Structure 1
Amino acid sequence: MGTTLCPELSRRNPYWIEKHRYYELKHFCLQYPGWRRAYAAIDSLTGSNFSPGKVRQNPSELDPTADCAEARLFYSDRMEMVEQTAMKTDPDLVSYIIKGVTEGRSYNNLQTRFGIPCCKDTYYDRYRRFFWLLNKERK
């Protein structure tokens, strides 16, 4: 269900970003559903020992509450970045942009299943703008 959008635009396009950076950002966004599931699954009462990107100085010092808080912050920061960037891109199309970039849905799929209220050219312009803004946000 991925989009068939060309990954590399003309350098004259106002939303141009390098092809591999586009792929990096696209794969970042495709992790969104996993972040949502992980965020919902974190239970501070059971004390998850997961803390992404953190190496403990002293493994004997366990703090499950802090680990849960750090994991929730990790996921919420990323989800918020995607959501806020979509909002900046186009407040009227925010839900469609989020579905498109996080679930790999094409314009045709969005039109058929959700009745997106714009034409294909407008949607893909906003889609490109989203990744251009996300590129600035994730420097």
Structure 2
Amino acid sequence: MGRPSPVSQYEAQILEWLQEPRAPEDGLIKGQEILARLRQQGYTGGKSAVYELVRRIRPKEPPKPILRFEGLPGEFSQHDFGQRWVTFADGTRKLVRFFASRLKYSRFVDIQIVENEQQETVVRSLLKGFEHFGGGADDGSFLTT
């Protein structure tokens, strides 16, 4: 509305700068850099107008596709600790810690309530999870390869 912004006369130049090839590690040209270049060309207007124009005319990047990390049956599993606050029927709250194991292909999950996140807990939880998934013999022979 009203009179045009003083930066509008530089729109073609700014668009040219936005389309300049840049090294990937440099990233997109920043509004600050465009403002500095405009100042060298005699622009005396405000920075907000420049930043708004850059935002409006910057070529939009298409959204990056979501890539799923897939595996074959028996190839991958994920394991991690987690914690959640649980409210019981009597109104009391408690922080519950758990160890979760998940088979990547089938998405089969094993969750165990644990007291801590120490090394012994990791090993015991992994062993119980492997047994739950049907991956070992009762004598522990699945540990030797």
* TM-score bin (small chain): under 0.3
Q: TM-score, normalised by structure 1?
A: 0.21
Higher strand share: 2
* TM-score after normalising by structure 2: 0.20
Structure with the largest fraction of helix: 1
Larger RCO, structure (CA 8 Å, separation 6 or more): 1
